[in-house]
């Protein structure tokens, strides 16, 4: 059986976790949390990075930082994971969905302006498959209308847009280190903050509404409850796991990239015959091989191909059911404009196995089976 995904293990995780245990420091914000945040700050150039318990929680923090309230509207694609919407809806906002671009499956930047009302507070671009949204256009629109931009960069670590790291292009960026992502800590994430004036508020929100982070840095002599907050800091045990991964991030990246390019080359003949479509990466975008997907003709063909691959021991899977068609999406959101691509393209998309350690022969085997299916 070739799994669709296996959580990344680089080999040094146990050593770092053991170190955290021996230091008798396993709650949050110790040595490993610091090392991880510093690594991400250096790698991305972000002004500040706070490690969080998940990307969902990083998004929730962003919603709190933006002071999202009852009646506010937040523009996002419908083709995304539930957390993109949940985080804002939990603060009372309405999710305003717009259509995606069929080439990248990302929000269609040209449709954002027509979805803006006087209630709109933010735009949440999702960088699907670690391929960037058209951020210059999105930032220009946000600037013109005084909106904030929160990047759902859950899949985007080590990807860039015009040379800049995903997650550093908007006001806030959110990473995920869930076990299904390129780099992991089991469950976890990070909030990237672009304006240093927001650093302190973010620390307070992450520490149950207290200024405890300042206290630990010795900047104040006691800490107090100063605002609304929750507990968004991960354990040192998780951070130690992540630190081991970050030190091997380039190996993980190269390994996934090799599989990605091998898929691309081997499946090219099928795409040239017009039987399937391959992923497209726009100029200026460098991705991170988070995902390899193909598009079949339609839902029926995809269902047959999934079944065929499964019967050959290959874990190929579809992805998001558009949020606007889900019960919570109907209740808490609305779709603006026409659904030209969201539903249609989501029904054709099929993700192939890709993970750190996937072997060349396995990719070859998968491509050979796909070729056979279309013979
Ligand atoms: C994985 C993912 C999330 C959620 O990440 P968690 O760390 O599991 O909370 C959110 N948005 C997108 C686009 C994702 O792929």
Both 231 and 328 in a single domain? Answer: no
Both 194 and 301 in a single domain? Answer: no
54 lines ligand 1 (CB under 6 A): yes
Both 305 and 345 in a single domain? Answer: yes
280: in domain: yes
83 lines ligand 1 (CB under 6 A): yes
**Rounded to whole angstroms, how far apart are CA atoms 285 and 106?**
13
CATH, residue 331: 3.90.1150.10
pTM of the model: 0.98
Both 239 and 269 in a single domain? Answer: no
Both 284 and 354 in a single domain? Answer: yes
289: in domain: yes
55 lines ligand 1 (CB under 6 A): yes
**Rounded to whole angstroms, what are the CA distances from 133 to 95, 156, 244, 247?**
19, 11, 30, 27
Which distant-in-sequence residues (6+ apart) come within 8 Å of 31 by Cβ? 20, 23, 25, 236
Both 225 and 303 in a single domain? Answer: no
With contact defined as beta carbons under 8 Å apart, do 132 and 156 qualify? yes
Q: What pLDDT, on the 0 to 100 scale, is given for residue 57?
A: 98
Ranges of residues in the chain whose predicted pLDDT is under 50: none
Q: Which of 246, 277, 297 is the last residue of a domain?
A: 246
Distance 368 CA to ligand 1 centre (A): 31
Q: Which one, of 76, 77, 75, 2, lies nearest residue 346 by Cα?
A: 77
**Token pair recorded at residue 328:** 């919570």
Which distant-in-sequence residues (6+ apart) come within 8 Å of 215 by Cβ? 221, 222, 223
Q: Which phi-psi region, left, alpha or beta, contains residue 122 (left: φ > 0; alpha: ψ -120 to 50)?
A: beta
Q: What pLDDT, on the 0 to 100 scale, is given for residue 222?
A: 87
Both 226 and 285 in a single domain? Answer: no
238 lines ligand 1 (CB under 6 A): no
Distance 122 CA to ligand 1 centre (A): 19
CA 99 to chain centre: 19
Distance 24 CA to ligand 1 centre (A): 31
Q: What pLDDT, on the 0 to 100 scale, is given for residue 257?
A: 98
Q: Which one, of 371, 251, 373, lies nearest residue 301 by Cα?
A: 373
Both 27 and 138 in a single domain? Answer: yes
Distance 18 CA to ligand 1 centre (A): 28
345 lines ligand 1 (CB under 6 A): no
Both 70 and 151 in a single domain? Answer: yes
Ligand 1 atom at shortest distance from the alpha carbon of 176? 7
Ligand 1 atom at shortest distance from the alpha carbon of 181? 1
182 lines ligand 1 (CB under 6 A): no
CATH, residue 84: 3.40.640.10
Q: What pLDDT, on the 0 to 100 scale, is given for residue 164?
A: 98
163: in domain: yes
* Among 53, 55, 234, residue to substitute to test ligand 1 (most atoms within 8 Å of Cβ): 55
142: in domain: yes
125 lines ligand 1 (CB under 6 A): no
Both 274 and 355 in a single domain? Answer: yes
* Among 53, 60, 61, 155, residue to substitute to test ligand 1 (most atoms within 8 Å of Cβ): 155
Which distant-in-sequence residues (6+ apart) come within 8 Å of 117 by Cβ? 73
**Rounded to whole angstroms, how far apart are CA atoms 186 and 178?**
5
Q: Which phi-psi region, left, alpha or beta, contains residue 92 (left: φ > 0; alpha: ψ -120 to 50)?
A: left
Distance 121 CA to ligand 1 centre (A): 22
* Among 54, 60, 81, residue to substitute to test ligand 1 (most atoms within 8 Å of Cβ): 81
Both 208 and 267 in a single domain? Answer: no
With contact defined as beta carbons under 8 Å apart, do 131 and 279 qualify? yes
Residue nearest to ligand 1 atom 5, measured at CA: 55
320: in domain: yes
5: in domain: no
Tally of domains within the chain: 2
**Rounded to whole angstroms, how far apart are CA atoms 98 and 81?**
15
Strands 94-98 and 120-123: unpaired
Domain extent, residue 196, equals 13-246
Q: Which of 181, 216, 246 is the last residue of a domain?
A: 246
237: in domain: yes
6: in domain: no
Q: Which of 246, 263, 285 is the last residue of a domain?
A: 246
Both 233 and 280 in a single domain? Answer: no
Distance 224 CA to ligand 1 centre (A): 32
84 lines ligand 1 (CB under 6 A): yes
């Amino acid at each position: 059986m070739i799994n669709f995904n296996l959580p990344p293990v680089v080999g040094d995780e146990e050593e770092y976790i053991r170190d955290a245990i021996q230091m008798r420091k396993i709650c949050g914000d110790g040595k490993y949390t610091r090392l991880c945040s510093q690594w991400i700050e250096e790698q991305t150039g972000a002004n500040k990075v706070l490690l969080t318990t998940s990307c969902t929680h990083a998004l929730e923090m962003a919603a709190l930082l933006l002071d999202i309230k009852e009646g506010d509207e937040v523009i996002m694609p419908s083709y995304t994971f539930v957390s993109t919407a949940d985080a804002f809806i939990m603060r009372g906002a309405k999710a305003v969905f717009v259509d995606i671009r069929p080439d990248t499956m990302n929000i269609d930047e040209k449709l954002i302006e027509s979805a803006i009302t006087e209630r709109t507070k933010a735009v949440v671009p999702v960088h699907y498959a670690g391929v960037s949204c058209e951020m210059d256009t999105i930032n220009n629109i946000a600037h013109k209308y005084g909106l904030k931009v929160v990047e759902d960069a859950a899949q985007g670590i080590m990807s860039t847009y015009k040379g800049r790291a995903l997650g550093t292009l908007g006001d806030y960026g959110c990473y995920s280190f869930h076990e299904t992502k390129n780099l992991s800590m089991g469950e976890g994430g990070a909030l990237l903050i672009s304006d240093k004036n927001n650093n302190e508020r973010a620390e307070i929100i992450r520490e149950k509404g207290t200024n405890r982070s300042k206290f630990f840095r010795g900047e104040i002599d006691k800490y107090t409850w100063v605002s609304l907050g929750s507990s968004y800091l991960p354990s040192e045990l998780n951070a130690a796991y992540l630190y081991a991964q970050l030190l091997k991030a380039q190996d993980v990246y190269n390994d996934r990239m090799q599989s990605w390019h091998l898929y691309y080359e081997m499946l090219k003949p099928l795409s040239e015959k017009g039987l399937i479509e391959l992923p497209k990466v726009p100029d200026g975008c460098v991705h991170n091989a988070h995902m390899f997907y193909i598009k079949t003709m339609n839902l029926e063909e995809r269902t047959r191909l999934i079944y065929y691959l499964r019967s050959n021991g290959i874990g190929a899977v579809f992805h998001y059911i558009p949020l606007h068609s889900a019960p919570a999406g109907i209740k808490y959101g609305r779709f603006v404009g026409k659904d030209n691509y969201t539903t249609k393209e989501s029904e054709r998309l099929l993700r192939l196995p890709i993970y750190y350690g996937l072997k060349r022969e396995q990719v070859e085997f998968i491509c050979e089976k796909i070729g056979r299916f279309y013979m």
